[in-house]
Amino acid sequence: MEKSDITERIKSLQEKKGFLILAHNYQNSEVQSVADFVGDSLELCKEAQKSPYSNIVLCGVSFMAETAAILNPDKNVYLPEKNAHCTMAQMLTPDAVLALKKNHPSAQVMCYVNSSAEVKSVSDIICTSSNAILLARKIESEEIIFVPDRNLGTYVSKSFPEIKVWLAPAFCYVHHEIYPEDVIKTKEKFPASLILSHPECQDPVLQISDFVGSTSAILKYVSASAEKEFIVCTEEGMLERMRIVHPHKNIISPLMPRLCYGMKKTSLQSVLSVLENPSDKISVPYPIAEKAFIPIKRMMDLSV
């Protein structure tokens, strides 16, 4: 089937069956083009909650669909590709978190949303890259165990030198492997450009950046800026979106495009397949869903 036919069929089935299609910023541009809403993790959670539709197709990775299912137990959440996983979320087990808690009993566990439901269920508060700083301030703890992303945790700890932050060893390979040398070489080619980075990048990259923020914050920054050239240190899907939104601005990859293979598993065909045959809705076992809901809800309440 031609891509245009697949797109038409998706739209028609979506309307007929009453589905909301959500896509993360890292999805490829074809998948983003059929979504009702494209955004970062926190924005997708909020859209899923306020949607009147009871069926949601979430084009992203499994932890996102799990989070949407935990927040919306009365809705059916479908992930088009069952094996679309976040490598960083898979790096950390709940036992590793419990071991950190045992060693640092006074610390609150702040868990990045890019984590399994099991890890969330043993955490005190969930955060995203857009609200981690705000929430670290609001929970008023002298010690924080930040999991799973050690780079985002380092970013939080540098913002609060008075708080002791304990880190887990996990990281996102997509961002971690953007090296400062790559960024500097790119900047030499485009000396007028600004460097915008996601806080999942390593600290030396953040140190040479003009702006650090979540994917949506980076997009807002570019939209508001009068500048024309930006080196954007994050996953390429975000850069594709920015090039569509701002065709007259030069959105530059740091030496080469960085791809998340979990995110890129979803295709137009997989979105169509789940609409044609919506089986295997995402379900998180009851005791885990119940426990994970508490720190997610705490995030939602404190991040308004």
User: Is 72 a residue that touches ligand SF4 (CB under 6 A)?
Assistant: no
Distance separating alpha carbons of residues 102 and 241, to the nearest angstrom: 43
Question: What do you get for the CA distance between the two ends of the chain, in Å?
Answer: 44
Q: Which two tokens stand for residue 65?
A: 């669909």
Closer of 88 and 222 to ligand SF4 (Cβ): 88
Pick from 29, 33, 87, 273 the residue near ligand SF4 by CB under 6 A.
87
| DSSP label of 81 | S
Binding segment for ligand SF4 (CB under 6 A), chosen from 68-76, 203-211, 222-230, 255-263, is 255-263
Long-range contacts of 181-185 (CB under 8 A, 24+ apart): 182/254, 182/255, 182/256, 183/208, 183/231, 183/233, 183/254, 183/255, 184/208, 185/255
Which 180-239 positions form the footprint of ligand SF4 (CB under 6 A)? 235
Size of the site for ligand SF4 (CB under 6 A): 12
Quick one: which segment of 7-15, 119-127, 140-148, 256-264 binds ligand SF4 (CB under 6 A)? 256-264
Three-state DSSP class for residue 57: strand
Amino acid residing at 179: Y
Does 172 help bind ligand SF4 (rule: CB under 6 A)? yes
Nearer to ligand SF4, 55 or 131 (CB): 131
Cβ proximity to ligand SF4: between 164 and 176 the closer is 176
Establish if 68 lies at the interface with ligand SF4 (CB under 6 A).
no
Calculate the CA 203 to chain-centre distance.
19
Residue 39 pairs in a beta bridge with: 24
DSSP designation for 193 = P
Q: Shortest approach of ligand SF4 to residue 74 CB, angstroms?
A: 27
Q: Cβ 287 to ligand SF4, closest distance in Å? A: 25
If one asks whether residue 61 binds ligand SF4 (CB under 6 A), the answer comes out as yes
Interacting residues toward ligand SF4 by CB under 6 A: 26, 61, 86-88, 114, 172, 174, 235, 260, 262-263
